[in-house]
Every structure is written in structure tokens, then in C-alpha cells.
Amino acid sequence: MAEIIDGKAIAEKVREDARIRADELKRKGIIPCLAVILAGEDPASLSYVTGKEKALAEAGMESRDLRLSESVSEAELLSLISTLNADPKVHGILVQLPLPRHIDSDRIITAIDPAKDVDGFHPVSVGNLVLGKKGFIPCTPNGVVFLLKEMKIKTSGAHAVILGRSSIVGKPLANLLIQKGINATVTICHTGTPDFSIYTRQADILIAAAGSPGLVKGNMIKPGAAVIDVGVNRVADAAKKSGFRLRGDVDFESACETAGWITPVPGGVGPMTIAMLMLNVVEAASK
């Protein structure tokens, strides 16, 4: 049976570190502040934003809750970001994705001052990661690597297979895993890969970030591999008050029979994403 990686407990340690660093800054008269922009009423986005704001409060940081209507114009959003860029009391800016369809997300993200890009999505942040320079690392990929280190899972020389090539997880995670000091050999599988199970069965570290519930079965996993499930999918469940339950990209029950380590959903990667965001906000305020 696989050892279950308790992302919630590990994230608590990270958040406590962020709180201690925030306290040190406050003694110097600096209150770390994150401006969170949410356009529209998407239920999942509302839930994510609420979780981030709660974590900020618990860490003693300030959150500017900026809720906008679904019909907000791109020009209005760009103007708001310009104002936040110029505000010295705002250290980080986070635009919750996805944005309404009439808004160009790339243009909005590029408008954020790279020094306040705590999500790590700005082209400057992406370039720094690719080049191995210091900069903000996207929170989910950073959280995944932190989990591997915390669990003392060997990355140097390991074959890491990533399912998914998104700009939020797959691509930055691949770039992070090949950095010196981590030294994994990385394969990325995507919708153009004819049979991804050929590669998953070779993986010492398997990261599922495809957005497809239960995609990875136990027989697709190398015995003893570390399985990191980034997927957060809502599936209908009449037994739940909400009418749905969360399920990862990995079939947890069958995977547990083969894997050496595994993250659950929920309680695995999700808490780490918010924890790493807290560290990025503190880092932005420190600079």
C-alpha cells in the first residue's frame, strides 16, 4: 500500500513559516498585502478566492478583495491593475482565472508588474524560470516540488512523467524539475500522445495534471512510484449536500495498490498551492 502524502499537514508548516516572516515585516512597519481580483460569479473561483483570503488572514497578511461583475470591460480591468501596480502598499496582485470570455487573459496577466506577480504567470516570471534565474515560481508546481522534498522522494536522476501541458502546471513544472539541484529527467504527455500509459509505467515520479477524473489507473503506474495528483474535478454525487464531490486525475483506490507514495484529492496538492502563494506574497513584500 502506498504512503499517503498529507499535503494539508505539510502546507500548515509552510503557512506558519509565512506567518512568522510576515510578523517580522510588520515589526518593520510593512504589512504584506495581496490584491485579489475576481471577475464574475464562477462557483469554483469563488471557493478558491475565499480559501486564499482566509489563509492570508490567518497568516496576518492583508487581503484586498476586489470583486467585479461578469460584464467588466477589459479596459476597466487594465485600469485597476495599473492603479494596483502604482500602490506601494500592495505587494502582490492575483487575478483569478478564468476571466470572462470577452477579456484577453494574456493581456491582463502581462499588465501586472512582474515584481507583484505572485502567481508567477507573467512572461518575465516564466522567462526567469526557464533560464534558472530567481523569480516568482507558479504556486502549484512549486508546491509539488516542495512535497517531493519534504517526503524525501529522490528527484535527482529520477524519471518524472507529467500528464498535461498547461501553462499553469505542466509546462512550469517541467522547467522546475529539470533545474540544477532537482535534476529530474522529464517527459510530458498530452492529448497528442497516442498511449500515455507507455510512459507512466516508466515513471519514478508521476504527476497527473490533465483535468480528467480517474484517468490514471493502478495498472498504469510503476510499482513504488511517487504519484502526485494535481487534478481537482467536480463529479456529481447526490449523497453530498453540494451535489458534487472532488475527484483527482488518478483512480486513488487502484493506484494505492501499486504506488509507493500518493497524494489524495482533496488534501494533497491543493493546500500546498495556497501555502506557496503565502510565501510568494511575503517574498514580494520583503523586496
123 belongs to a structural domain: no
Q: Are residues 111 and 168 in the same domain?
A: no
Separation of alpha carbons 81 and 66, rounded Å:
11
Q: What is the pLDDT of residue 243?
A: 83
CA distance 89 to 268: 33
Distance CA 227, CA 161 (A): 10
pLDDT the model gives residue 132: 94
The number of distinct structural domains making up the chain is 2
Residue 46 is predicted with a pLDDT of 85
Known binding-site residues for NADP(+) equal 164-166, 232
Q: What is the DSSP pairing of strand 33-39 with strand 92-95?
A: parallel
**How confident is the model at residue 242, as a pLDDT?**
81
In a domain, 285, yes or no: no
Positions annotated as catalytic residues are: 52, 96, 119
CATH at 63: 3.40.50.10860
Provide the pLDDT for residue 245: 85
What per-residue confidence (pLDDT) applies to 182?
98
pLDDT at residue 183, as a whole number: 98
Contact 226, 205 (CB under 8 A): yes
Do residues 185 and 157 make contact, with C-beta atoms less than 8 angstroms apart? yes
Clarify whether residues 147 and 236 are in a common domain.
yes
Residues of the chain with pLDDT under 70: none
Assess if residue 24 is contained within a domain: no
Domain limits at 161? 139-270
pLDDT score of 244:
82
The CATH code of the domain that includes 219 is: 3.40.50.720
Phi, psi of 65 (to 5 degrees): -90, 105
DSSP assignment string, 48-110: HHHHHHHHHHHTT-EEEEEEE-TT--HHHHHHHHHHHHH-TT--EEEEPSSPPTTS-HHHHHH
Residue ranges of the annotated binding site are: 164-166, 232
Pairing label, strands 233-236, 244-247: antiparallel
